[in-house]
Structure 1
């Protein structure tokens, strides 16, 4: 029994879960929470209006009943239209799309559907923290390849300066490798992988017959002017790639918990089998409303300024620039993201001293100190690394900036007072 409990502890991490721990800490100290990744403002009107119209529709009672297990017909048809344009190929709504309870369930179904005991799965670090336990739950073995900055620590950098060692990645591929997870854009860095990087990854996958799990939930949050390449669009990679998306990230409705997987039918079938025998189906009203949102986007001309897909990344740019300025005010050095709504900052120049009696890493100690003393919460970046590589992130913390301007103004006041206190010391 004790052995089983230890395994459960390793898989769930409830006691040490970073979201539970730092969410509770922020609440305890009434700190401004720039840790967890969700907007603090209302979604666009067309999305909330869509949900209201679905909920109040008296003519179609079936919108409140079970729908098709693998995805509500209206939603999968809209997604098929969207992704047919993205992938430059006709996507079959019935066999090449699965709708799930958030992108999280898509990830889970992929691991359960593809990974057998002893299979190895390659993960880039930093990584979204569910990847490792999902590999372990399936009986697989996670193998890690860290992204590193090509510039010295403490220098002002962009995520464009972060890349992987081609030798390290190549050495992780072997006859046991089943799958590689490519989170592009990356959370927490906001790195957008280059075409050359993706081609190198793809060539290794073809050589070793490895599947690709493309976690692209931040696909709509790539900043203007940055080329965004989808790995499934590269030559001969469609047939071995499952691409994952998220309504929460797409329409700023993280509480809807609606995601999807897109890929060739022979791969999607494996995910469908897991989904049908666990979750079975997703909430019908949410799917209908998301479909209306996509249909609205499809009705607009390419590049229309009325498109939310066009608007949201442009709205994030000034927020990103605002938080970068704040961080620099107290000698936190930001790593400028190319996408997404997180920013990682280097704290090595802040003068923060670790408590040698505290076994926690520097970034954990710093965030807890900041929460207690400055009433500002973030996430320690080493939470996104395996134990072997946590030292790479001991000077890094992650902030979320998809917030109301008033929220960011509150943060600016905290940083300004912090800076003033440093001058007075």
Structure 2
């Protein structure tokens, strides 16, 4: 064809970080601590629920309505307030498509999961960025809680064109869990300027060291202006099931339903049933040692600490996450030559990650990829590791790091 094929909405959003680094990791047969998914099975009670659903009769193989549970949100009403989606990804897509119009400004707090930016742009919106900045006291940054927003800088980003702000708590990649007072600062600005809040809370059950997850929708004036995004895949370690949801008041959800019914229309019935049964079980066991919501973060807390020790052993400075799947580390103090000519035009963290993959067989992700071009240069000294892995995977990474340390 002589005419241009691609629609304008695809211009500028063609590149995808995950495609590039997944292919590179596979090509070098690496130990992969880059991608954010467990390499262990979901708990037996949800896999059994999935199997039972598949063999549970004709209706389990047909269209169904989305499940709902008061355990997810006490204010949610079936059909009216919850939209079940094909993973949290589609919940985010539905929110941006339904609520953001041409020229609307959307504030995105950095670092951010990389789909926010292209989804805003495809909806015709304009991303406006504000970074969390590390507060350094007595040397290097050691905790994700040390990354904070500047209140004045945040306030300056709100204009008459601002339609929404996107937050992610616990945050990917740094693992920050927003404190109530930080969320209240954001909420006050949303109320003052009549702005929506899209709150990505897919790691809500994974917090460490006493950090508490707080839903911004629970703060005064926020229920009617917040879209809370959740994930069955992250909740029950079953990311391939692609069950997510958006929770909001009816006057918002109805617009997201319009996008949903005209794109995917429906999500897999057996996977919904299995996740629903998982929540029902957790509702009964919540707060007890048998609860998966107690067991999973306890297990990951141990894996987190193990990875931190490994990284320190080779001179990396880990930033301890308060929640989530990931740990970032500062590699700026390392005395290694990773700047080969083939990647000379790339950011330092991209070059370091590629060197690590090619020469050490260990895959990670560059953190500057989670920033806008205007701020990424300030954060090129960090890389992201995923610790939601089998001990055997972490042990294999440990062997690589140990050999590296001995060879320096």
Point out the structure with the larger helix share.
1
Q: Which residue is 2:19 aligned to?
A: 20
Q: Which residue is 1:275 aligned to?
A: 260
Q: Is the 8 A contact 1:352 1:366 kept in 2?
A: no
Give the 5 Å matches for 1:197-236. 197-236=182-221
Q: Which residue is 1:116 aligned to?
A: 101
Cα drift, residue 11 of structure 1: 2.2
- 2:262 & 2:276 partners in 1: Cα distance? 25
Task: State TM-score, norm by structure 2.
Answer: 0.96
- 2:143 & 2:253 partners in 1: Cα distance? 35
Q: Is the 8 A contact 2:9 2:121 kept in 1?
A: no
Q: Which residue is 1:377 aligned to?
A: 363
- 1:126 & 1:153 partners in 2: Cα distance? 23
Cα drift, residue 352 of structure 1: 3.2
Cα drift, residue 385 of structure 1: 0.6
Q: Deviations over 1:158-189 (max 9, x none)?
A: 01100011121111101000000111111111
Alignment equivalent of 1:404, drawn from 372, 390, 405? 390
Structure 1 segments (4+ residues) deviating >4 Å: 1-7
Cα drift, residue 155 of structure 1: 1.1
Q: Is the 8 A contact 2:111 2:132 kept in 1?
A: yes
Give the 5 Å matches for 1:7-406. 8-13=10-15, 17-57=16-56, 60-68=57-65, 71=66, 75-76=67-68, 79=69, 81-85=70-74, 89=75, 91-151=76-136, 155-300=140-285, 302-353=286-337, 355=339, 357=341, 358-406=344-392
- 1:265 & 1:153 partners in 2: Cα distance? 48
Cα drift, residue 222 of structure 1: 1.2
Q: Which residue is 1:418 aligned to?
A: 404
- 1:361 & 1:413 partners in 2: Cα distance? 27
Q: CA RMSD in A?
A: 1.6
Matched residue count:
404
- 1:365 & 1:154 partners in 2: Cα distance? 25
Cα drift, residue 4 of structure 1: 4.9
Q: Deviations over 1:250-284 (max 9, x none)?
A: 00000001100111111111111110111101111
Q: Is the 8 A contact 2:9 2:123 kept in 1?
A: no
Q: What secondary structure sits across from 2:39 in the alignment? A: coil
Q: Is the 8 A contact 2:9 2:124 kept in 1?
A: no
Q: Is the 8 A contact 2:85 2:244 kept in 1?
A: yes
Q: Gaps (5+ residues) in structure 1?
A: none
Q: What secondary structure sits across from 1:157 in the alignment? A: coil
Q: Is the 8 A contact 2:339 2:352 kept in 1?
A: no
- 1:298–1:403 Cα change, 3 Å: same
- 2:390 & 2:55 partners in 1: Cα distance? 29
Q: Deviations over 1:59-98 (max 9, x none)?
A: x211101123xx1xxx22xx2x21344xxx4x21120000
- 1:151 & 1:137 partners in 2: Cα distance? 37
Q: Is the 8 A contact 1:379 1:399 kept in 2?
A: yes
- 1:153–1:253 Cα change, 3 Å: farther
Q: Is the 8 A contact 1:154 1:349 kept in 2?
A: no
- 1:101 & 1:44 partners in 2: Cα distance? 21
Q: What secondary structure sits across from 1:38 in the alignment? A: coil
- 1:147 & 1:329 partners in 2: Cα distance? 27
Q: Is the 8 A contact 2:134 2:141 kept in 1?
A: no
- 1:355–1:6 Cα change, 3 Å: farther
Q: What secondary structure sits across from 1:145 in the alignment? A: strand
Cα drift, residue 2 of structure 1: 5.5
Q: What secondary structure sits across from 1:383 in the alignment? A: helix
Cα drift, residue 6 of structure 1: 7.5
- 1:12–1:162 Cα change, 3 Å: same
Cα drift, residue 101 of structure 1: 0.2
Cα drift, residue 5 of structure 1: 6.8
Cα drift, residue 299 of structure 1: 2.1
